[in-house]
Chains A and B, each alone.
Chain A
């Protein structure tokens, strides 16, 4: 039975932490513009973000179910398992892609605000979610990470994204 190599456990976590901190730092020092996205007027951006957030939530739920099925199912490399793993990768990638314009607007146009507990939670967990994403996609590509690390990061990422959506305004 293989044992986890500490460096391969730490590396994804450190990369994820650096990502979350970098996003938080940017949001803090950047002067928010209050504008819409490059291709969407400011008055329409709220509706766009709400719609995209719903899409991301739906993809996250699908992703969590597929992740659970991957964990509980036959671990041999059957065609079905391989296809499910690829579908899991695709849905996760699409959820990440859909979240980018939303996060971009939050960071660039709104920035970090500390006057409201819900907004603070949204800001902090949003940064954490991207840190968890980076940690997960790094860990999943490394052989020798701790057993259970990738699923734990996946569940954490899913929970963080759901919390981000629940605290969005």
Chain B
């Protein structure tokens, strides 16, 4: 019994979607992950500390973070950042929280560049937040 035209269309759609799914799997591997080590190293280097980076971090902090964490970083809706170094011994962990968000905190990876995230993390870790 010959298959209907509709059935052949569905076959075609299934093949196309199968190829698309295979392409997505290939992309998962070929696009790679975040250069975490580089970012962490950048923040560590910034902690040395470049005044220009701190100024940039302060600007980002005032625009994006102060509303929840307070102008002085003493906390508000979000937790205090005064002793943020104690909570995140590795600055890369703090970069990850800022980038990807955690709990009620939104992800900033889309709002801020890698350099801006590194700068604001360096700024808060310098005790200025």
The stretch from B14-22, B51-59, B68-76 touching chain A is B14-22
How far is B46's CA from A138's CA once the two chains are assembled, in angstroms?
A: 53
The answer to whether B28 touches A42 (Cβ under 8 A) is no
Contact indicator B33/A33 (Cβ below 8 Å): yes
Are B111 and A43 within 8 A (Cβ)?
A: yes
A44 to B107, CA, bound (A): 12
Chain B interface secondary structure, helix, strand, loop or mixed?
helix
> Is A143's beta carbon under 8 Å from chain B?
no
Q: Interface size class for chain A? A: 20 to 34
Q: Is the CB of B34 within 8 A of A86?
A: no
Identify the stretch in A1-9, A50-58, A94-102 within 8 Å (CB) of chain B at 4 or more residues.
A94-102
Complex contacts, B14 vs chain A, CB 8 Å: 89, 93
| Interface, chain A (partner B; CB < 8 A) | 26, 30-36, 38, 41-45, 82-83, 86, 89-90, 93-94, 96-97, 100-101, 104, 107-111, 113, 115-116
- B13 within 8 Å of A by Cβ? yes
Find the A residue at minimum CB distance from B111.
A43
Residues 34-67 of B contacting A (Cβ, < 8 Å): 34-36
Q: Is B4 a contact of A30 with CB atoms below 8 Å?
A: no
**Contact among B7, B21, B31, B110 for A108, CB-based, below 8 A:** B31
Residue pair A100, B20 in contact (C-beta under 8 Å): yes
| Residues of chain A lying within 8 A (CB to CB) of residue B83 | none
Partner of B99, one of A30, A34, A86, A101: A34
Residue B109 is within 8 A (CB to CB) of chain A in the complex: yes
Q: Which of B35, B36, B110 contacts A42 (CB 8 A)?
A: B110
For residue A111, which residues in chain B have a CB less than 8 angstroms away from its CB? 100
Q: Is the CB of A89 within 8 A of B10?
A: yes
Q: Are B103 and A104 in contact (CB under 8 A)?
A: no
Q: Is the CB of A33 within 8 A of B20?
A: no
B28 near A86 with CB under 8 A, answer no
Given contacts A36-B110, A43-B111, A104-B28, whether A30 and B33 have CB atoms under 8 Å apart is yes
Q: Contacts of A89 on B, CB cut-off 8 Å?
A: 10, 14
